[in-house]
Amino acid sequence: MTWLVAVADLIQVARRPPARADRSKLSTRSKNDTKKWKQICADLFSDADKAKILEAFDLALEKTGQISFSALGQQAPIEAKETWDPDFAKRKIIQKGLRERLSNMSINMGGATSIDITQKGVDKGYGLNGIPLEKMMFIGDAIFPGGNDYPAFELGLKTVRVRNPEGTLAAIAGIVACLS
C-alpha cells in the first residue's frame, strides 16, 4: 500500500497527536530533508501571480506551490474551525469571488476554514501523475466537488473522507489493523 500525505495534513496531525500516540515516533521533515521525503511536485507561482493572489485577500499563508486563505487563521482552535462553516456555505461564496478575480488559478476548499489557490491544474491529482494508483488509497477531508482532495477521487482512487486530523489517524489505524 502506498501512502500519500500532503505535508500540510501531516503537520496538522503531528501538531495534535492523540493522547495514546507515542510522541517519540512522530516527526515531520522539511522539504529540504531529501533523505526522508521525496518532493513529487512544487510548481511555484511567479512573483506577479503571488502578488495578485495575496492582494485578493488579507489573511493568507504561502506554502510551496500553494497559497492558502484560512478564514480564522492557521492557529485557531479546532472547535472554532469546526463550527465556523460546517455546511461550506461561507467558503463557497469566498471561492466564487476568488474564481472571478483569479480565473487563471485553481481555487479549492480544504480543511474546515481554508481556501487553497494553486496554478490551474496543479492539484492533488497532478501530484499523483506517474505513480501507480491501483494499490493506493487516499484519505482527505475535502473529497467533494470544489474540495482540494476531490481530484484524487476523480482519478478513480479509493478514498476515505475524514473530518479532521483525528479522523485521519483513526482511518489509518483502521486500515493498518485490517491489513495486519
Residue-level pLDDT at 46: 78
Q: Which of 24-28, 72-76, 144-148 has the highest mean pLDDT?
A: 144-148
Lowest mean pLDDT among 62-71, 78-87, 170-179: 62-71
Question: How far is CA 132 from each of CA 1, 92, 121, 158, rounded to the nearest angstrom?
Answer: 11, 33, 20, 13
| pLDDT greater than 50 at residue 34 | no
Indicate the DSSP class of residue 98.
H
Mean pLDDT of 43-58: 70
Mean pLDDT of 99-108: 91
pTM of the predicted model, to two decimals?
0.64
- Dist CA 128 CA 81 (whole Å): 29
Question: How far is CA 179 from each of CA 88, 132, 174, rounded to the nearest angstrom?
Answer: 34, 19, 9
Q: Which position has the higher pLDDT, 130 or 35?
A: 130
| pLDDT greater than 70 at residue 130 | yes
Mean pLDDT of 5-12: 49
| pLDDT greater than 50 at residue 26 | no
Query: What is the percent of the chain where pLDDT is above 70?
Result: 69
Instruction: Say which residues have a Cβ less than 8 Å from residue 139's Cβ, sequence separation at least 6.
Output: 5, 159, 160, 162, 168, 171, 172
Q: Which position has the higher pLDDT, 33 or 54?
A: 54
Residue-level pLDDT at 27: 44
Q: How confident is the model at residue 96 (pLDDT cuts 50, 70, 90)?
A: very high
Residue found by looking up cell 467533494 in the block: 144
